[in-house]
Copies of this chain bind each other. A is one copy, B any other.
Amino acid sequence: MSERGRPRTFDRTAALRRAMEVFWARGYEGASMSELTAAMGINSPSLYAAFGSKEALFLEATDFYSHTEGADIWLALEEAPTARQAIEQFLSLTARAYAQSDRPQGCLITLGALHQDSSRGAICDDLRRRRAENHTALQKRLERGVAEGELPADFDASAAATFFATVQHGMSIQARDGASHNALLATVAGAMAAWRTLAGGSAA
Protein backbone atom coordinates (compact mmCIF):
# COMPACT_ATOMS: atom_id res chain seq x y z
CA MET A 1 0.00 0.00 0.00
CA SER A 2 1.95 3.00 -1.18
CA GLU A 3 -0.65 5.54 -0.10
CA ARG A 4 1.82 8.23 0.73
CA GLY A 5 1.08 11.79 -0.28
CA ARG A 6 -2.09 13.50 -1.34
CA PRO A 7 -4.59 10.99 -2.71
CA ARG A 8 -5.96 11.24 -6.23
CA THR A 9 -9.34 12.97 -6.32
CA PHE A 10 -10.61 11.35 -9.52
CA ASP A 11 -11.38 7.76 -10.45
CA ARG A 12 -8.50 6.63 -12.62
CA THR A 13 -10.50 3.88 -14.33
CA ALA A 14 -13.44 6.17 -15.02
CA ALA A 15 -11.09 8.76 -16.50
CA LEU A 16 -9.45 6.08 -18.63
CA ARG A 17 -12.88 5.08 -19.93
CA ARG A 18 -13.60 8.66 -20.92
CA ALA A 19 -10.27 8.90 -22.69
CA MET A 20 -11.03 5.66 -24.52
CA GLU A 21 -14.31 7.13 -25.75
CA VAL A 22 -12.58 10.26 -27.06
CA PHE A 23 -9.89 8.25 -28.88
CA TRP A 24 -12.60 5.94 -30.20
CA ALA A 25 -14.60 8.82 -31.66
CA ARG A 26 -11.73 11.00 -32.89
CA GLY A 27 -8.81 8.67 -33.50
CA TYR A 28 -5.37 9.15 -31.98
CA GLU A 29 -4.30 12.26 -33.83
CA GLY A 30 -7.80 13.75 -33.88
CA ALA A 31 -8.07 13.64 -30.10
CA SER A 32 -6.51 16.77 -28.60
CA MET A 33 -5.24 16.98 -25.05
CA SER A 34 -7.77 19.71 -24.31
CA GLU A 35 -10.62 17.49 -25.46
CA LEU A 36 -9.23 14.59 -23.47
CA THR A 37 -8.80 16.55 -20.23
CA ALA A 38 -12.28 18.07 -20.65
CA ALA A 39 -13.86 14.63 -21.11
CA MET A 40 -11.85 13.15 -18.25
CA GLY A 41 -12.72 16.02 -15.93
CA ILE A 42 -9.12 16.70 -14.94
CA ASN A 43 -6.33 19.16 -15.74
CA SER A 44 -3.45 18.25 -17.93
CA PRO A 45 -0.80 17.89 -15.18
CA SER A 46 -3.04 15.31 -13.51
CA LEU A 47 -3.31 13.46 -16.78
CA TYR A 48 0.45 13.39 -17.28
CA ALA A 49 1.05 12.34 -13.67
CA ALA A 50 -1.42 9.47 -13.93
CA PHE A 51 -0.80 8.24 -17.48
CA GLY A 52 2.57 9.59 -18.60
CA SER A 53 1.86 10.94 -22.05
CA LYS A 54 -0.78 11.04 -24.77
CA GLU A 55 0.80 8.02 -26.39
CA ALA A 56 0.88 6.00 -23.16
CA LEU A 57 -2.72 7.02 -22.45
CA PHE A 58 -3.77 5.76 -25.87
CA LEU A 59 -2.01 2.43 -25.41
CA GLU A 60 -3.70 1.98 -22.05
CA ALA A 61 -7.05 3.02 -23.52
CA THR A 62 -6.84 0.45 -26.32
CA ASP A 63 -5.97 -2.22 -23.80
CA PHE A 64 -8.96 -1.20 -21.73
CA TYR A 65 -11.09 -1.34 -24.88
CA SER A 66 -9.96 -4.88 -25.63
CA HIS A 67 -10.87 -6.04 -22.15
CA THR A 68 -14.29 -4.36 -22.07
CA GLU A 69 -15.91 -3.56 -25.40
CA GLY A 70 -14.21 -6.31 -27.36
CA ALA A 71 -14.27 -9.08 -24.79
CA ASP A 72 -17.63 -10.72 -25.48
CA ILE A 73 -16.99 -10.98 -29.22
CA TRP A 74 -13.79 -12.95 -28.78
CA LEU A 75 -15.21 -14.96 -25.92
CA ALA A 76 -18.07 -16.10 -28.13
CA LEU A 77 -15.57 -17.18 -30.75
CA GLU A 78 -13.95 -19.55 -28.28
CA GLU A 79 -17.08 -20.89 -26.64
CA ALA A 80 -19.31 -21.61 -29.61
CA PRO A 81 -19.68 -25.40 -30.09
CA THR A 82 -18.84 -25.41 -33.80
CA ALA A 83 -16.50 -23.33 -35.95
CA ARG A 84 -19.39 -22.22 -38.10
CA GLN A 85 -21.37 -21.01 -35.10
CA ALA A 86 -18.22 -19.39 -33.76
CA ILE A 87 -17.77 -17.30 -36.90
CA GLU A 88 -21.46 -16.48 -37.09
CA GLN A 89 -21.52 -15.39 -33.44
CA PHE A 90 -18.32 -13.45 -33.93
CA LEU A 91 -19.77 -11.49 -36.86
CA SER A 92 -23.25 -11.08 -35.38
CA LEU A 93 -21.91 -9.70 -32.12
CA THR A 94 -19.67 -7.41 -34.14
CA ALA A 95 -22.71 -6.12 -36.03
CA ARG A 96 -24.53 -5.45 -32.80
CA ALA A 97 -21.58 -3.76 -31.12
CA TYR A 98 -20.64 -1.57 -34.09
CA ALA A 99 -24.14 -0.12 -34.55
CA GLN A 100 -24.84 0.85 -30.95
CA SER A 101 -25.94 4.46 -30.94
CA ASP A 102 -24.80 5.31 -27.40
CA ARG A 103 -21.13 5.04 -28.30
CA PRO A 104 -18.83 5.66 -31.29
CA GLN A 105 -19.52 3.43 -34.29
CA GLY A 106 -17.02 0.85 -35.44
CA CYS A 107 -13.91 -0.42 -33.68
CA LEU A 108 -11.18 1.52 -31.90
CA ILE A 109 -8.55 -1.06 -32.79
CA THR A 110 -9.46 -0.86 -36.46
CA LEU A 111 -9.99 2.89 -36.83
CA GLY A 112 -7.79 4.39 -34.12
CA ALA A 113 -4.66 5.13 -36.14
CA LEU A 114 -4.46 4.05 -39.76
CA HIS A 115 -1.94 6.52 -41.11
CA GLN A 116 1.69 5.82 -40.32
CA ASP A 117 3.87 8.72 -39.29
CA SER A 118 7.33 9.07 -37.84
CA SER A 119 5.85 10.46 -34.62
CA ARG A 120 3.09 7.85 -34.39
CA GLY A 121 4.96 4.66 -35.21
CA ALA A 122 4.40 3.02 -31.83
CA ILE A 123 0.67 3.68 -31.96
CA CYS A 124 0.25 2.17 -35.42
CA ASP A 125 2.42 -0.79 -34.54
CA ASP A 126 0.43 -1.53 -31.39
CA LEU A 127 -2.91 -1.50 -33.21
CA ARG A 128 -1.44 -3.57 -36.02
CA ARG A 129 -0.23 -6.12 -33.49
CA ARG A 130 -3.70 -6.32 -31.96
CA ARG A 131 -5.27 -6.83 -35.37
CA ALA A 132 -2.76 -9.58 -36.07
CA GLU A 133 -3.73 -11.23 -32.77
CA ASN A 134 -7.35 -11.14 -33.87
CA HIS A 135 -6.46 -12.85 -37.12
CA THR A 136 -4.59 -15.51 -35.17
CA ALA A 137 -7.59 -16.09 -32.89
CA LEU A 138 -9.82 -16.63 -35.91
CA GLN A 139 -7.33 -18.95 -37.53
CA LYS A 140 -6.91 -21.03 -34.37
CA ARG A 141 -10.65 -21.44 -34.02
CA LEU A 142 -10.96 -22.59 -37.62
CA GLU A 143 -8.04 -24.97 -37.21
CA ARG A 144 -9.86 -26.44 -34.23
CA GLY A 145 -12.78 -27.05 -36.56
CA VAL A 146 -10.45 -28.97 -38.84
CA ALA A 147 -9.03 -30.96 -35.93
CA GLU A 148 -12.49 -31.84 -34.72
CA GLY A 149 -13.57 -33.04 -38.15
CA GLU A 150 -16.08 -30.27 -38.75
CA LEU A 151 -13.99 -28.90 -41.60
CA PRO A 152 -12.08 -30.85 -44.28
CA ALA A 153 -8.40 -31.52 -43.81
CA ASP A 154 -7.43 -29.32 -46.76
CA PHE A 155 -9.38 -26.35 -45.40
CA ASP A 156 -7.26 -23.19 -45.62
CA ALA A 157 -7.79 -21.79 -42.14
CA SER A 158 -5.37 -18.91 -42.66
CA ALA A 159 -7.06 -17.69 -45.86
CA ALA A 160 -10.51 -18.03 -44.32
CA ALA A 161 -9.37 -16.14 -41.20
CA THR A 162 -8.06 -13.39 -43.45
CA PHE A 163 -11.42 -13.20 -45.18
CA PHE A 164 -13.51 -12.99 -42.02
CA ALA A 165 -11.12 -10.53 -40.37
CA THR A 166 -11.28 -8.34 -43.46
CA VAL A 167 -15.07 -8.42 -43.39
CA GLN A 168 -14.99 -7.27 -39.80
CA HIS A 169 -12.62 -4.43 -40.68
CA GLY A 170 -14.95 -3.35 -43.45
CA MET A 171 -17.86 -3.36 -41.03
CA SER A 172 -16.08 -0.69 -38.98
CA ILE A 173 -16.10 1.67 -41.94
CA GLN A 174 -19.65 0.66 -42.84
CA ALA A 175 -20.69 1.50 -39.29
CA ARG A 176 -18.85 4.84 -39.42
CA ASP A 177 -20.91 5.65 -42.51
CA GLY A 178 -24.04 5.30 -40.39
CA ALA A 179 -25.08 1.77 -41.31
CA SER A 180 -27.91 0.33 -39.21
CA HIS A 181 -27.74 -2.95 -37.34
CA ASN A 182 -29.74 -4.54 -40.14
CA ALA A 183 -27.38 -3.24 -42.80
CA LEU A 184 -24.46 -4.73 -40.90
CA LEU A 185 -26.34 -8.02 -40.66
CA ALA A 186 -26.61 -8.01 -44.45
CA THR A 187 -22.83 -8.08 -44.55
CA VAL A 188 -22.77 -10.87 -41.97
CA ALA A 189 -25.19 -12.86 -44.13
CA GLY A 190 -22.95 -12.30 -47.14
CA ALA A 191 -19.90 -13.51 -45.27
CA MET A 192 -21.70 -16.56 -43.94
CA ALA A 193 -22.96 -17.33 -47.44
CA ALA A 194 -19.33 -18.07 -48.23
CA TRP A 195 -19.17 -20.70 -45.54
CA ARG A 196 -20.71 -23.54 -47.50
CA THR A 197 -18.29 -23.10 -50.38
CA LEU A 198 -15.24 -22.58 -48.19
CA ALA A 199 -16.08 -25.55 -45.97
CA GLY A 200 -17.17 -27.77 -48.84
CA GLY A 201 -13.74 -28.81 -50.10
CA SER A 202 -10.61 -27.43 -51.71
CA ALA A 203 -10.69 -23.69 -52.28
CA ALA A 204 -11.47 -22.55 -55.81
Contacts and interface: CB of A to CB of B under 8 A. Distances in A.
Taking residues whose C-beta sits less than 8 angstroms from the other chain, chain A's interface range is 35 or more
User: How many identical chains are in the complex?
Assistant: 2
B204 A187 contact: no
B159 A166 contact: no
A192 B166 contact: no
A193 B198 contact: yes
Contact of A193 (B165, B173, B178, B204): B204
A66 interface: no
A145 interface: no
Interface string A178-202: 1100010011011111101110000
Say whether chain A's binding surface is mostly helix, strand, loop, or mixed. helix
Contacts of A165: 170, 174
A25 B115 contact: yes
A37 interface: no
B173 A159 contact: no
Given A30-B117, A115-B30, A190 B173 contact: no
A160 B187 CA distance: 8
Contact of A170 (B169, B177, B203, B204): B169
A192 B204 contact: yes
Interface of A: 25-27, 29-30, 110-111, 114-117, 128, 131-132, 156, 158-160, 162-174, 176-179, 183, 186-187, 189-194, 196-198, 203-204
> Sorted from nearest, which 4 A-B pairs have the closest CB atoms?
A163-B190, A170-B170, A193-B197, A166-B170
19 contacts: A26-B115, A27-B114, A29-B29, A30-B117, A111-B114, A128-B178, A162-B174, A163-B190, A163-B191, A164-B190, A165-B174, A166-B190, A168-B170, A170-B173, A191-B194, A193-B198, A193-B203, A196-B196, A196-B197
